[in-house]
Amino acid sequence: MSDNHAEHEEHIGIPGYLVIFLILVFGTIFTYFSSFWDLDSIFPGANTLLALAIAFTKMMFVILYFMHVRWSSKTVWLAAVAAFFWLAIMFAFTMQDYFTRISGVFSV
């Protein structure tokens, strides 16, 4: 990790980066074609859920490998996790309002 400077510089090397790249390309193509499937007949919002799950996976690969967070110090991990934690608070506290409003109150 941070104590091993040789590894810190090397990260995953060119073959590793190419593998991550191919995963991202595959994720994009899969997102594109899966949007044509009618998953909403399983349950409403299933299409969006799948698309977001793929996007989240792609994001994790970019953050961990392209942005080197996997090899970064604990403080960098903290900054990254805190950012998404606050984002989740913003979503949750906003939507707990809108999800629980009686129909027609927030209208037109």
Partner 1 sequence: MTAHGDTHEHHEPGLQHQFEDMHQQEESVSIGMWAFLAQEIMFFGGLFTAYLVFRWRFPMAFAAGSNHLDEFMGGLNTLVLIVSSLTMALTVYYAQKGNRTLQVVMIVLTMLFGATFLGVKAIEYTDKYNHGLVPVTGWNKKVKEDVSAPHVTEQDCTQVGHGDGDDHYVNPKGEFQWKDCSLVKLAQDHNYLTEDEKIGYFTNGEIDANKFRDKVRLFYYIYFVMTGLHALHMIIGLGVMLWLLWKAWIGTFGPKYYAPVEISGLYWHFVDIVWIFLFPLLYLLGRHFLH
d(CA 14, CA 24): 15
Q: Does 42 bind partner 1 (CB under 8 A)?
A: no
Helices (H), the chain: 5-10, 13-34, 46-61, 74-98
Q: Does 19 bind partner 1 (CB under 8 A)?
A: no
Selected from 15, 43, 96, 98, the binder of partner 1 by CB under 8 A is 98
Q: Which residue has the tokens 């991550």?
A: 20
User: What six digits make up the tokens of 29?
Assistant: 């193509």
d(CA 31, CA 103): 33
Q: Which positions touch partner 1 (CB under 8 A)?
A: 2-3, 5-6, 9, 11, 13-14, 17-18, 20-21, 24-25, 28-29, 31-32, 35-40, 47-48, 51-52, 54-55, 58-59, 62-63, 65-68, 72-73, 75-76, 79-80, 82-84, 86-87, 90-91, 94-95, 98-99, 103-104, 106-108
